[in-house]
């Protein structure tokens, strides 16, 4: 069963999360401050990290950034409390994969957890490697290189790219992308897809304004082309 690390300092939320996740059969460990959470997460043995933002010692933004800098690719679900935090999480340069806003229902949280875990598993099971132009992607290792240099992609971006690559040459709709990458139980606005596609293009394309690989098909969706 999947191992989940919860980094949260509010006792009541932490206990509720632990209970809910254990009831679903997950193996749960927890940390109550950012530094402790970071060092546990750095061991790399978790399948998912649930990370609060306002934390003693080191905040969730810094924990997230540090983990990505260290090459830890474990999917991260952020817990946000304020709209300023959501904006920052959505800024994506941070490397978080998804977020839920407090207060959240256990059902919503579990749906997000399941979707994130399912996504990373799909990437692990599908096409291993692909190269196009000067881009090389190893989906098993979550590694991407452009012109020989490593480029950091979030787990969500890997998942998105993977889905497009699996459907090479075909147009996939925003809805199909939402179902596949985010999961059916989750409500996300279709424009979220566009935002993540834009981030992915910046990393993959020579000129993101004139994409060669991830083509937009007006009002329908996207198509991967070599
Ligand atoms: Ca907190």
Domain boundaries, the chain: 3-121, 127-224
How remote is the CA of residue 130 from the centroid of ligand 1, in Å? 41
- Assess if CATH 1.10.10.10 describes domain 127-224: yes
Q: Which residue has the higher pLDDT, 181 or 3?
A: 3
pLDDT value at residue 188: 73
Q: In percent, how much of the chain has pLDDT > 70?
A: 92
Cα separations in angstroms, 167 against 72, 86, 193, 222: 28, 31, 16, 10
How remote is the CA of residue 34 from the centroid of ligand 1, in Å? 10
How remote is the CA of residue 161 from the centroid of ligand 1, in Å? 33
Omega within 30 of 0 (cis) for the link into 103: yes
* Distance of alpha carbon 49 from alpha carbon 51, whole angstroms: 6
Are 194 and 214 contacting, i.e. CB atoms less than 8 angstroms apart?
A: no
Mean pLDDT of 84-92: 63
Q: Which residue has the higher pLDDT, 91 or 24?
A: 24
pLDDT tens, position by position, 52-66: 999 999 999 999 989
Among 3.50.50.60, 3.40.50.720, 3.40.50.2300, 3.20.20.450, name the CATH number for the domain at 3-121. Answer: 3.40.50.2300
Are 94 and 64 contacting, i.e. CB atoms less than 8 angstroms apart?
A: yes
pLDDT value at residue 90: 61
């Amino acid at each position: 069963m999947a191992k989940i690390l919860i980094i949260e300092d509010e006792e009541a939320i932490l206990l509720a999360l632990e209970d809910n996740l254990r009831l679903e059969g997950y193996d749960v460990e927890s940390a109550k401050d950012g530094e402790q959470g970071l060092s546990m997460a750095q061991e790399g043995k978790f399948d998912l990290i649930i990370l609060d933002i306002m934390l003693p010692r080191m905040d969730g933004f810094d924990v997230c950034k540090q983990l990505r800098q260290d090459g830890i690719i474990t999917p991260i679900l952020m817990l946000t409390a304020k709209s300023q935090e959501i904006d920052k999480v959505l800024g994506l340069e941070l490397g978080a994969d998804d977020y839920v806003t407090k207060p959240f229902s256990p059902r919503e949280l579990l749906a997000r957890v399941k979707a994130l875990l399912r996504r990373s598993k799909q990437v692990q099971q599908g096409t291993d490697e692909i190269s196009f132009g000067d881009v090389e992607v190893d989906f098993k290792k979550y590694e991407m290189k452009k012109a020989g240099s490593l480029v950091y992609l979030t787990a969500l971006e890997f998942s998105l790219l993977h889905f497009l690559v699996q459907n090479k040459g075909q147009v996939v709709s925003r809805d199909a992308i939402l179902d596949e990458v985010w999961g059916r139980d989750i409500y996300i606005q279709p424009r979220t897809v566009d935002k993540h596609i834009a981030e992915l293009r910046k990393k993959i394309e020579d000129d993101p304004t004139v994409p060669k690989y991830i083509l937009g098909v007006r009002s329908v969706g996207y198509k991967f082309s070599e």
